[in-house]
């Protein structure tokens, strides 16, 4: 008896979403080929590992889901394959993980990003997944029953994810949302004096607020403006204001652990024998960069009036006038509109063609959420294709 021919699946792009999809597809049912433009898959994944490969985050799932925009889109995806599932999966392929002090999850100490990538590629090899490198897709129909696009976003073009695919989808009537930088640096016109004192210095244990969303973390003052986890996490709020008004306001709380009233009491009890600057340094433990920020962005009168100074310490407004270059952003929003796909990532207008990963229009902060989002989409699509029996007519 002849065995039925396998269903051919072409996955275009070889990033985390594609690799997880290929790792989970049923190789009895499918003949899978990844087509990757570069000479090897996973270049952006390796770049992401440069400062420590932050695979995901350990916070409870309900909280985790809220980090995504839109979170309603991600809820079923993350329920299908959660942060805990990802950790277990890595463990099962020989990559144990550990949770850092920030609750972020990394491969265990000593395991290099390339070893993580190789462990994933070993799974693919064992499943006979073909990887065709040096294949630059330019809009042609693939010789396959099912095509999955996993071409990535539009930052860090050097890694291969250059967003040059938009015209091919536009030509088929598919809505493309223009790319914008996310998780990027933001431009602030700092006073020169502040830069000479604080450029390159971190502001630790602060919180930032914009449009009623508050994020704790760390930022760095730079010549350009500001970067770091706390401001990256406010990207949706900042982008909204920049798009609407050309500028955005972010309030920085330099002492989140103290209430305004406690702060006023403390400032009022400053002995007259000491200066306010010394007092802030010794009693409030404000760092050099925090002091520079306060002194350069408040009037002398406010600085010397406890109520006014406390208000500035708790809510110092910073005006953001732009975002950093898209190519330097950690991720992008924009790309294929979510309205163009069904709940299984299939394009309404192109049956048997699916889209996953950062090429879809969604947003999440750094901290492992971007990789988790891409891995989970690959996983969920594989589960769906493994279960669905026929290719659509
Ligand atoms: C500097 C940096 C640091 C990051 N740090 C983190 C982090 O710590 N944690 C985190 O969660 N995320 C991080 N990210 C984000 C994360 O790496 C991405 O969100 C993720 O890689 C997206 O996966 P993807 O599968 O959608 O696409 P990508 O990883 O972008 O892969 C897409 C692939 O498609 C290929 N391709 C593109 N066009 C074509 C074409 N026409 N033909 C064939 N192939 C094509 C590309 O070469 C690429 O290999 C970081 C990103 C950067 C740039």
pLDDT band at 52; cut points 50, 70, 90: confident
Q: How far is the CA of 173 from the centre of ligand 1 (A)?
A: 25
CA distance 125 to 204: 44
What's the CATH architecture for 7-182+328-387? 3-Layer(bba) Sandwich (3.50)
Distances from the Cα of 218 to the Cαs of 25, 47, 299, 303, in angstroms?
40, 22, 25, 24
How are beta strands 146-149 and 353-355 bridged, if at all?
parallel
pLDDT band at 86; cut points 50, 70, 90: very high
The answer, yes or no, to whether any atom of ligand 1 lies below 6 A from the CB of 365, is no
Mean pLDDT value of segment 208-224:
95
Run of H or E residues at 329: none
How many other CB atoms are found less than 10 A from the CB of residue 371? 27
CA nearest 331: which of 367, 382, 377? 367
Q: How far is the CA of 375 from the centre of ligand 1 (A)?
A: 11
Q: How far is the CA of 373 from the centre of ligand 1 (A)?
A: 12
| Atom of ligand 1 lying closest to residue 18 CA | 25
pLDDT of res. 357: 98
The answer, yes or no, to whether any atom of ligand 1 lies below 6 A from the CB of 156, is yes
203 DSSP β-pair partners: 219
Model-level pTM? 0.94
Q: What residues contact residue 3 under an 8 Å CB cut-off, 6+ apart? A: none
Q: How far is the CA of 84 from the centre of ligand 1 (A)?
A: 22
Q: How far is the CA of 14 from the centre of ligand 1 (A)?
A: 9
CA nearest 18: which of 364, 359, 374, 350? 374
pLDDT band at 22; cut points 50, 70, 90: very high
In angstroms and rounded to an integer, the radius of gyration of the C-alpha atoms of the chain is: 24
| Model pLDDT for residues 234-279, shown as the tens digit of each residue | 999 999 999 999 999 999 999 999 999 999 999 999 999 999 999 9
pLDDT at 390 over 70: no
The answer, yes or no, to whether any atom of ligand 1 lies below 6 A from the CB of 48, is yes
For 38-75, the DSSP string reads SSSS-HHHHHHTTT----EE-S-HHHHHTTSBTHHHHH
55 — phi, psi (to 5°)? -70, -40
CA distance 149 to 9: 11
Report percent pLDDT > 70 for the chain: 98
8 DSSP β-pair partners: 31
Q: What residues contact residue 338 under an 8 Å CB cut-off, 6+ apart? A: 70, 73, 360, 361, 362
Greatest Cα pair distance in the chain: 97
pLDDT band at 49; cut points 50, 70, 90: confident
pLDDT at 391 over 70: no
Intervals of CATH 3.50.50.60 along the chain: 7-182+328-387
The answer, yes or no, to whether any atom of ligand 1 lies below 6 A from the CB of 160, is yes
pLDDT of res. 214: 95
pLDDT at 50 over 90: no
| Model pLDDT for residues 153-187, shown as the tens digit of each residue | 999 999 999 999 999 999 999 999 999 999 999 99
For 5-35, the DSSP string reads PPEEEEEE--SHHHHHHHHHS-TTTEEEEEE
| Model pLDDT for residues 338-385, shown as the tens digit of each residue | 999 999 999 999 999 999 999 999 999 999 999 999 999 999 999 999
| Contact between 219 and 228 (Cβ < 8 Å) | yes
């Amino acid at each position: 008896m002849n065995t039925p021919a396998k269903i051919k699946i072409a996955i275009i792009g070889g990033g985390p979403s594609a690799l997880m999809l290929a790792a989970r597809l049923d190789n009895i049912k499918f003949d899978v080929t990844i087509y990757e433009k570069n000479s090897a898959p996973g270049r952006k994944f390796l770049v992401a590992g440069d400062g420590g490969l932050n695979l995901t985050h350990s916070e409870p799932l309900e909280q985790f889901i809220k980090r995504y925009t839109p979170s309603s889109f991600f809820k079923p995806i993350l329920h299908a394959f959660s942060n805990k599932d990802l950790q277990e999966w890595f463990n099962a392929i020989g990559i144990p993980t550990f949770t850092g002090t920030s609750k972020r999850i990394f491969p265990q100490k000593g395991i290099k990003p390339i070893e993580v990538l190789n462990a994933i590629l070993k799974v693919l090899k064992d499943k006979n997944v073909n990887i065709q490198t040096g294949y630059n897709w330019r809009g042609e129909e693939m010789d396959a029953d099912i095509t999955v696009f996993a071409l990535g976003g539009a930052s860090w073009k050097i890694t291969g994810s250059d967003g040059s695919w938009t015209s091919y989808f536009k030509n088929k009537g598919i809505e493309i949302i223009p790319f914008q930088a996310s998780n990027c640096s933001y431009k602030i016109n700092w006073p020169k004096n502040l830069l000479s004192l604080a450029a390159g210095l971190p502001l630790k244990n602060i919180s930032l607020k914009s449009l009623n969303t508050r994020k704790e973390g760390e930022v760095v003052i730079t010549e350009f403006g500001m970067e770091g986890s706390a401001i990256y996490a406010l990207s949706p709020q900042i982008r909204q204001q920049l798009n609407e008004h050309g500028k955005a306001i972010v309030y920085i709380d330099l002492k989140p652990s103290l209430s305004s009233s406690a702060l006023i009491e403390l400032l009022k009890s400053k002995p007259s024998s000491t200066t306010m600057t010394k007092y802030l340094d010794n009693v409030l433990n404000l760092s050099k960069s925090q002091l520079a920020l306060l002194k350069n962005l408040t009037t002398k009168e406010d600085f010397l009036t406890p109520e006014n100074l406390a208000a500035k310490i708790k809510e110092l407004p910073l005006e953001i006038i732009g975002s950093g270059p898209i190519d330097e952003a950690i991720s992008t929003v924009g790309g294929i509109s979510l309205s163009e796909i069904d709940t299984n990532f299939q394009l309404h207008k192109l049956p048997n063609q699916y889209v996953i990963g950062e090429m879809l229009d969604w947003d999440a902060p750094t901290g492992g959420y971007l990789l988790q989002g891409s891995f989970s989409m690959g996983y969920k699509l594989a589960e769906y294709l493994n279960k669905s029996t026929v290719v659509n007519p």
